[in-house]
Amino acid sequence: MPTLTERRARVCSPYSFKRSPYSSHSLLLKWFNRPGEGLRVLDVGCGEGYLAEALAAQGYEVVCVDKPGCGPAALPEHVQFLELDLDEDVATLPGSFPFIVCADLLEHLRDPCKVLLGLRSLLAAGGRLVASLPNSGNFYFRWNVLLGKFPAHDRGLFDRTHLHFYTWAGWTDLFSRSGFRIESVEPTGIPVGLALPRWDGTLPIRILERVFYTLARLWKTLFAYQFVVVARREAIE
């Protein structure tokens, strides 16, 4: 029987599960590698549900939400899907959650600060928000801007559906204004395999991805493709 990620969904995004061990999805799921034991996770902007499926397999109870007309075509056990206007209705979700996931989401929203404030109200005491955030300070982004270019791609750092472009300083400021403090950050490398799908998985691609991941760890503001952050709620000044 095909898995959820292999079944056709009501696709509203060109993004798919990034399997590289240095990708944002792999690093995000690595943070949830312990048994879930029924703890609730809110997956905001769930897309096809690939993260929700992986989290449910770990024993978490997952509520995944996305805008009307999007979301998984089928749901595994322990996953509930809700349609919401992510820009307006997130704070209306019932209950609280020990964990909230925002993967490849905040840069697509009209007012990410407003949404983060809504999510803050849903986070249980001692809970954590885990998010993946694109880096507009990446050398590839800077190089294009230096040359006077600002491409409109289907995905990636120049995704045409991105409404906001933040460097690391911009992200930390956004989270602070929204009542969160970032506790940890893991940079990701450039997903060379996605850019060159014909050779994805080959030894040269794996080597290049390892090199870019190492560079990102050495100098995250310049070489990180994305940041995977873990944040906790704090008082708003």
Q: What is the pLDDT along the chain (237 residues), one digit of tens a residue?
A: 334 443 334 445 555 666 678 888 899 999 998 899 999 999 999 988 889 999 999 999 999 999 888 777 778 888 999 999 999 889 889 889 999 999 999 999 999 999 999 999 999 999 999 999 999 999 999 999 999 999 999 889 999 999 999 999 999 999 999 999 999 999 999 988 877 878 887 898 889 999 999 999 999 999 999 999 999 998 776
In a domain, 142, yes or no: yes
Task: State the Cα–Cα distance between residues 231 and 154, nearest whole angstrom.
Answer: 29
187, two tokens: 């940079």
Q: Which of 138, 133, 142 is nearest to 174 (CA)?
A: 133
Strands (E) in 72-144, as ranges, are 79-83, 97-103, 123-134
In a domain, 211, yes or no: yes
Per DSSP, the three-state class of 88 is coil
In a domain, 27, yes or no: yes
220, two tokens: 């995250």
Task: State the Cα–Cα distance between residues 42 and 65, nearest whole angstrom.
Answer: 8
In a domain, 131, yes or no: yes
CA dihedral 95, 86, 132, 204 (to 10 degrees): 130
Q: Which of 88, 95, 83 is nearest to 118 (CA)?
A: 88
- CATH at 226: 3.40.50.150
Q: Which amino acid is at 164?
A: H
Q: Which residues contact 82 (CB under 8 A, 6 or more apart)?
A: 63, 64, 65, 93
pLDDT of residue 6: 39
In a domain, 50, yes or no: yes
The whole domain housing 148 covers 4-232
pLDDT of residue 14: 52
In a domain, 199, yes or no: yes
In a domain, 237, yes or no: no
Q: Are 153 and 160 in contact (CB under 8 A)?
A: yes
pLDDT of residue 217: 95
In a domain, 23, yes or no: yes
Bridge partners, 97 (sequence order)? 123
Task: State the Cα–Cα distance between residues 224 and 229, nearest whole angstrom.
Answer: 12
> Could you write out the DSSP letters of every residue in 157-190?
TTBTT------HHHHHHHHHHTTEEEEEEEE---
pLDDT of residue 17: 64
Count: domains in the chain = 1
pLDDT of residue 15: 56
CA dihedral 64, 117, 232, 68 (to 10 degrees): 10
Q: Which residues contact 217 (CB under 8 A, 6 or more apart)?
A: 187
Q: What letter would DSSP give residue 232?
A: E
